[in-house]
Amino acid sequence: MGRPRKYNGLSEEKRNIISQLVEMYDIKTASDIQEALKDLLGGTIQNMLEAELDTQMQERSEGEPDYSDSRNGYKPKTLKSSMGEIPISVPQDRNSDFEPQIVPKYARDISEIEGKIISMYARGFSVRQISDQIKEIYGFDVSEGMVTAITNKLLPEIEAWQKRPLSAVYPIVFIDAIVFNVRDNAVIRKTAAYVVMGINEEGHKEVLSITIGENESAKYWLSVLNGLKSRGVKDILIASVDGLSGFVEAINTAFPQTEVQRCIIHQIRSSTRYVSYKDKKAFTADLKPIYKAATEELALAALDDLSARWSAKYPLSVKSWQANWPELSTMFKYPPEIRKLIYTTNAIENFNRQLRKVTKTKSAFVSDDALMKMLYLATINITEKWSMPIQNWGMILDNLMIYFGERVPISF
């Protein structure tokens, strides 16, 4: 069997985007690449100017009851950039009092600021931080309303990312959710960001989807999983999940052949929740021989010991291990390299913690779109660093081929 193909550290997501750009712009030479980048930059600046004019007219009309203005066509302008000349059309208003800030009147050279404009999107700043950053760098004021309008131009890009094609088979997938506060008609409600992370055929981590929906439920998870199927995913070999009730049924409905491993760490937390403080240390010590066992037989013997010692005092805690055993014991089928990878959802929880670092200053988001914009920008920033495959991927893939046979395509 051949080893996984290398693509110079490019993720599946980036390769898909590049393929789409190559097809869209019919790229055949380095010069074609330059022209495509110029077009994308010009389109970005154009969108920002459109949002800027809308915001300025709206703010004037709200602040001055007698104010009246409307759009009045476009004026051509050619900008000089590090990629050459970029033609744009500056929107005009009938009162001729539109003062563009992104590309001020009479300014034509944007070589110095073009990288700054793009990087502010990618760094996941809050609306206020972006406004402050523009003021600090360029020396002019930009309202929070204008920043919001500009970042809303990202929504079609986010939608395209959410609908992009995925690989047919993912060897391992991790599934988890993060709960955020969103303001809805002056009322704070809980909403969940459903996150699916996969390990692709090359051993690289890849965020397959982030979906904003109702507070975490098995029913909504089923719709998320069906969404993966609609984007081309035909099979998942192993899914590592938390302990949400009904989660296993949702996975089995969408992907009947998928092996499900319930997160051991979540199970430990759940089963010790009602154990008294004075017994917790001893109880958790008796759990360790179960999930650290070399074989399922040894693990079951340790589970019997746990039951004998603690069932009378903590019947629900012990019963949870017995009831969830079919999913807790999946890992014992596999060698240590695979077992270490799937026994916990730490991989996706580490990613979620990085998202939390970006969103921690927000006590509540003004809308689902505002939440999604920040999560998307943070995701792009985080995943750019995922350039290396996971450790021992060649050995893991060889073992997966042994266990799953023809479900692992030879092209892997």
Angle at 137 between CA 131 and CA 139, to 5 degrees: 80
Neighbours of 64 (CB within 10 A): 9
Mean pLDDT calculated for residue range 335-352: 91
Average the pLDDT over 226-254 and give the result. Answer: 89
Decide: 72 and 159 in contact? Cβ < 8 Å. no
- Closest listed residue to residue 234, CA positions, set 217, 255, 215: 255
In the DSSP assignment, the letter for residue 293 is -
| Burial of 362 from C-beta contacts in 10 A (0-12 / 13-18 / 19+) | middle
Q: What confidence category does residue 127 fall into, taking pLDDT thresholds of 50, 70 and 90?
A: low
Could you tell me which of 279, 277, 273 has the C-alpha nearest to residue 317? 273
Domain-wise residue ranges, the chain: 12-159, 169-406
Lowest mean pLDDT among 170-174, 191-195, 213-217: 213-217
Kindly report, residue by residue over 130-186, the tens digit of the pLDDT. Answer: 667 666 655 555 566 656 666 677 788 889 999 999 999 999 999 988 999 998 888
Residue 126 has pLDDT above 80, yes or no: no
- Say yes or no to pLDDT of 236 above 90: yes
pLDDT tens digits, residue range 284-322? 999 999 999 999 999 999 999 999 999 999 999 999 999
C-alpha span between 161 and 380 (Å, rounded): 10
